[in-house]
Structure 1
């Protein structure tokens, strides 16, 4: 579905892993066999969960575990990096196409492939303020998370800018809600069950209402109770000749759910402040 090299490599590695498994011996039947159903070639067989066999030095007290759900792949990662992939038709036309992203680990391997789903009319009329759904596929080729952004037209729209984080089969993890302020961009990450705020996100000063006042390289603090839990920045990477949105988890005790909500917040900030294509 996605036509970029990183996702093709992710799929290629997974297919090699499945091909290397021992195939069972064919079953031979002595008597007559009655066929009750036709084979379904369209059914998608989930790939096995990839287990890393390479040691790394992220932490001397690191405990290894096999992820059982899509957002569990974020567990124990000190940071993740969101890279946008660009397509030729988007560069040659005046209307941007649906965005594609790759979420990478610090080692550079692809953790998720993100694909936007939106209408061409919304992209033409509303630009980066458009509503959309962002589908995140994990290494097993299954949909790990779904981000849903509602329509919000910058600062002049009274409707708050927010994004919902869902997991299959329809569980709401939480919301990222914008809080209009005069001095700096402020967002709250809310729990999907209780609705209580978990984290507060604060951006640069003197850019509260203006979505276009932020420089391309910006820094956002994520804290709770005055303690820094994580941070999000948008920086230019000279080696890749593009900007990337980076998440650094300052608190190693963050749960996989909390990391997934912070990842959703990074995508919301990407659209609110750093998308320039209309």
Structure 2
């Protein structure tokens, strides 16, 4: 019942019209210059150290949902490999249509670098094309959950394919640097 009430309270960004030469579902990205990616809190992970598949809400700067993302992975591999596990992340629009699908293979955990801000620079490294940064979620949430928040900023006129690439990169950054093994 609580989840049904939550679903009815969610405001989706208004669906833009058809935009020439824009891949279907990415029309939303033509109208924004930043995204907020919020991992859904999962009580099962906190209470029982149960590794669940990750779910995310992608919102604009006004708090309207643009996309919903969901991990598909093997339960056994979530335990065995933790954040290094292989997975498929599917990003859906407001009508449930697959907009972006990304696949991640099994990753080696040899890299211990911890970068909080990732920048996408132009070839001459003079122009910042975008920035992905982790947002502080609060002491208790950071201590007891893996429910992270990321801000993504880019120029309004940046190609939507690059914006989509940055959205996908935010999920990988979360798994690589901020997911903790139960």
Instruction: Note the residue ranges of structure 1 that are not aligned, 5 or more in a row.
Output: 15-48, 52-64, 156-208
1:142 CA displacement: 1.1
Higher RCO, 1 vs 2 (CA within 8 Å, ≥6 residues apart): 2
Q: Does 1:256 find its partner at 2:154? A: no
- Check 1:144–1:7 CA distance in 2 against 1; reply closer, same or farther (3 A cut): farther
For the residues of structure 1 that align with 2:97 and 2:44, how far apart are their CA atoms?
Answer: 27
Question: Which of 9, 12, 17 is the equivalent residue of 1:66?
Answer: 17
- Check 1:6–1:103 CA distance in 2 against 1; reply closer, same or farther (3 A cut): farther
Report which of the two has the higher share of helix. Answer: 2
Q: Does 1:80 find its partner at 2:31? A: no
Q: Does 1:232 find its partner at 2:136? A: no
- Check 1:50–1:235 CA distance in 2 against 1; reply closer, same or farther (3 A cut): closer
Q: Does 1:141 find its partner at 2:86? A: no
1:152 CA displacement: 0.6
TM-score, normalising length: structure 1: 0.55
Question: Which of 88, 103, 107 is the equivalent residue of 1:152?
Answer: 107
1:80-114 deviation digits (Å, cap 9, x = unpaired): 01111122222222231001110010000111111
8 Å contact from structure 1 (residues 81, 103) kept in 2: yes
Q: Does 1:274 find its partner at 2:178? A: yes
For the residues of structure 1 that align with 2:62 and 2:102, how far apart are their CA atoms?
Answer: 25
Instruction: Note the residue ranges of structure 2 that are not aligned, 5 or more in a row.
Output: 143-147
1:152-194 deviation digits (Å, cap 9, x = unpaired): 1212xxxxxxxxxxxxxxxxxxxxxxxxxxxxxxxxxxxxxxx
8 Å contact from structure 1 (residues 6, 102) kept in 2: no
For the residues of structure 2 that align with 1:116 and 1:4, how far apart are their CA atoms?
Answer: 21
Count of matched residue pairs: 168
For the residues of structure 2 that align with 1:67 and 1:152, how far apart are their CA atoms?
Answer: 38
Q: Does 1:126 find its partner at 2:81? A: yes
For the residues of structure 2 that align with 1:8 and 1:67, how far apart are their CA atoms?
Answer: 26
1:196-219 deviation digits (Å, cap 9, x = unpaired): xxxxxxxxxxxxx314xx27xx11
SS of the aligned residue for 2:26 comes to helix
Deviates further, 78-87 or 67-76: 67-76
8 Å contact from structure 1 (residues 100, 114) kept in 2: yes
